[in-house]
Amino acid sequence: MRRSRTWWRRATVPALAALAALAALCLFQPAAAQGAQGAQGADADRPLQEPVRIMPLGDSITGSPGCWRALLWQDLVDAGYAGIDFVGTLAGQGCGFAYDGENEGHGGILATNMADQNQLPAWLSATNPDVVLMHLGTNDVWSARSTDTILAAYTTLVEQMRAHNPRMEILVAQIIPMDSAQSCATCAEGVVDLNAAIPDWAASLSTEASPVTVVDQWTGFDTATDTYDGVHPNDAGNRKIADAWYPSLTEALSD
């Protein structure tokens, strides 16, 4: 187990027994005590544990509208993960159904600018995530930032996450491809170079307390069929992105 904290997934027999015991205590409390608790009616319905707070962090692929987030949230809920809360300073956008849409997907943002301008700490303080899903670097590649420069920015962001929460679970994507014919002449190869370097970078920073997990968003993603403009995912692409996040995120939720 990488972490000591307990994550709740489905109701279990011990949990139901605990709830039954609590109900019994309430039934046999003196009337005065019951009256005092009656003034706190809403408190009785609060969950026994704070939900796991998950921050989707990135650019327009994450946030505009980033419907892979909606699909991922739906998949988690359908699988019985009730104690989850997607967080961010940005509100969700329409994806055809109701979902927990808060995120940190800033259209046009570069990882290098995010790091250099010290933007992330304020977002962390405002939302207090336990887990970060980071798909970031597309705009850096488009802006001809070198792989080493992008990875240095990633390192700064990881350090900022850990300064806020030393036990942060960090999931970092090998980003989806770009079509150079619809972006920049060097974009396709730039993504290949960045993705090739991410595993070694992640391994050098990962710790038992705060693991950095690489999530392969590249393999099987086709810009011709999975994007609408060679860069941003269409419905098929959003489905693939959600499916790629799911195993690593559920593993993090189980730690």
In the chain, what are the domain boundaries? 1-49, 52-254
Using alpha carbons, select from 230, 211, 173 the residue that is nearest to residue 58.
Answer: 173
Asked if the model's pLDDT at residue 4 lies above 70, the reply is: no
Whether the predicted model's global pTM rises above the 0.75 cut: yes
Measure the CA–CA gap between 255 and 248, rounded to whole angstroms: 11
The domain 52-254 having CATH identifier 3.40.50.1110: the answer here is yes
pLDDT band at 50 (very low <50, low <70, confident <90, very high): confident
Instruction: Dump pLDDT digits (tens) for 69-116.
Output: 999 999 999 999 989 999 999 999 889 999 999 999 999 999 999 999
Q: What does the longest C-alpha to C-alpha distance in the chain come to? A: 76
Of the two residues 13 and 186, the one the predictor is more confident about is 186
CB half-sphere exposure, 124, CA atoms < 13 A: 20
Torsion, CA 195, CA 168, CA 64, CA 102, rounded to 10: 170
**141-163 pLDDT, tens digit each:** 999 999 999 999 999 999 999 99
